[in-house]
Structure 1
Amino acid sequence: MVRVATYFAMSFGAFLFWQSMDKLHVWIALHQDEKKERLEREVEIKRVREELLAQAKQKDSLA
């Protein structure tokens, strides 16, 4: 009976371990996606800012 209980406890422990690792993996992947999206937005903002500054310089040089 002790062997059966030990086997069950070890199987259940392994199941909980793999479930927690799966959730951790999903959380890390989502976090990396959010970080990538944030960096892409920052690059886009910098590009638009540079374009606007270039346009403003052209208008100043023409005026």
Structure 2
Amino acid sequence: MVRVATFFAMSLGAFVFWQSMDKLHVWIALRQDEKKERLEKEAEIRRVREELLQQAKQNDSLA
């Protein structure tokens, strides 16, 4: 009886462990995706800002 209970407890423990690892993996992947999107948006903002600054410099040099 003890062996059956031990087997059941170990099986349940393994199941809970793998489920938690799966949830952790999904959470980490989502965080990485959010970070990548944020960095891409910041790079786009920087690029547009540089273009606008260069256009402003050209307009000032022409005036």
TM-score normalised per structure 2: 0.98
* CA deviation vs aligned residue, 1:3-62 (integer Å, no higher than 9, x gap): 111000000000000000000000000000000000000100000000000000011001
The aligned residue for residue 29 of structure 1 is 29
1:47 matched to 2:47? The reply is yes
1:56 matched to 2:56? The reply is yes
Q: Which stretches in structure 1 are left out of the alignment for 5+ residues?
A: none
- Taking only aligned residues, the RMSD between alpha carbons, in angstroms, comes to 0.4
Name the aligned partner's letter for residue 39 of structure 1: L
Name the aligned partner's letter for residue 31 of structure 1: R
The aligned residue for residue 6 of structure 2 is 6
Q: Distance in 1 between matches of 2:29 and 2:40?
A: 17
Overall identity of the aligned pairs, in %: 86
TM-score normalised per structure 1: 0.98
Runs (4+) off by over 3 Å: none
